[in-house]
């Protein structure tokens, strides 16, 4: 297998185990104040490193937290556990999840491929690619499902990732701008 080849898709049982891990990591942190340790507090089911985001939504489908990392650091299990806790208690847009909130949230996991440069804007596929834009000290990232959820065109997706970075809407065309794309396997708990 080439090192730049996308990772093999995760099986249904692995996806289910990662959702259970994310939920347990949040529960343990919120109720006991400690973080789960990979290989000690839970079995490793996805040992290969991958970037991942964990998204928390309310039962009504509203965003409640979303934090992740693009670059792999440790097993996917460890990344999911870490990002789940971060999404629950460190997303500055929302108050930290409390014990009473645990039954009111549902989880979604996005396991990412390694980002690659976007050769041209026409190569961005809505629903397939997530985007990262960087210019100076500003960075914006949008997961692939965001463009689909909002019904955005390719052009609007590119504008929105720039706005998320605090850049002008067409900054992806500016000299010095780095534009990357990635893919994600996305799954979550049923509403």
Distance (Å, whole) CA 191 – CA 184: 21
Q: Which domains does the chain have, with CATH numbers?
A: 12-112 (3.30.700.20), 116-183 (3.30.1490.150)
Distance (Å, whole) CA 136 – CA 73: 24
pLDDT at 5: 64
What percentage of the chain's residues is helix, strand, coil (to nearest 5)? 35, 25, 40
pTM of the predicted protein model: 0.89
pLDDT at 45: 83
Residue 82 CA from chain centroid, whole number: 12
Q: Tell me the CA distances in angstroms from 10 to 16, 81, 111, one per residue in order.
A: 10, 17, 9
pLDDT at 93: 95
113-146 pLDDT, tens per residue?
A: 999 999 999 999 999 999 999 999 999 999 999 9
Q: What strands lie across the sheet with 138-142, from one edge to the other?
A: 116-117, 178-182, 130-135, 138-142
pLDDT at 56: 98
Task: Give every residue of the chain whose pLDDT is below 50, as ranges.
Answer: 1-2
pLDDT at 1: 37
């Amino acid at each position: 297998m080439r090192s730049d080849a996308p990772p093999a898709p995760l099986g249904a049982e692995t996806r289910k185990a990662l959702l259970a891990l994310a939920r347990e990591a949040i529960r343990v942190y919120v109720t006991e104040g400690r973080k789960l340790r990979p290989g000690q507090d839970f079995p490793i089911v996805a040992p290969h490193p991958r970037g991942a985001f964990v998204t928390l939504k309310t039962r009504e489908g509203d965003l409640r937290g979303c934090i992740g990392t693009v670059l792999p650091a440790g097993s996917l299990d460890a990344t999911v556990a870490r990002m789940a806790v971060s999404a629950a208690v460190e997303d500055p847009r929302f108050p930290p999840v409390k014990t009473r909130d645990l039954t009111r949230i549902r989880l979604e996991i996005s396991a990412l491929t390694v980002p690659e440069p976007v050769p041209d804007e026409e190569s961005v596929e809505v629903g397939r690619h997530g985007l990262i834009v960087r210019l100076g000290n500003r960075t914006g990232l949008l997961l692939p499902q965001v463009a689909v959820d909002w019904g955005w065109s390719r052009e609007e997706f590119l504008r929105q990732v720039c706005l998320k970075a605090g850049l002008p809407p067409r900054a992806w065309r500016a000299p010095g701008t780095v534009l990357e794309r990635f893919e994600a396997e996305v799954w979550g708990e049923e509403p």
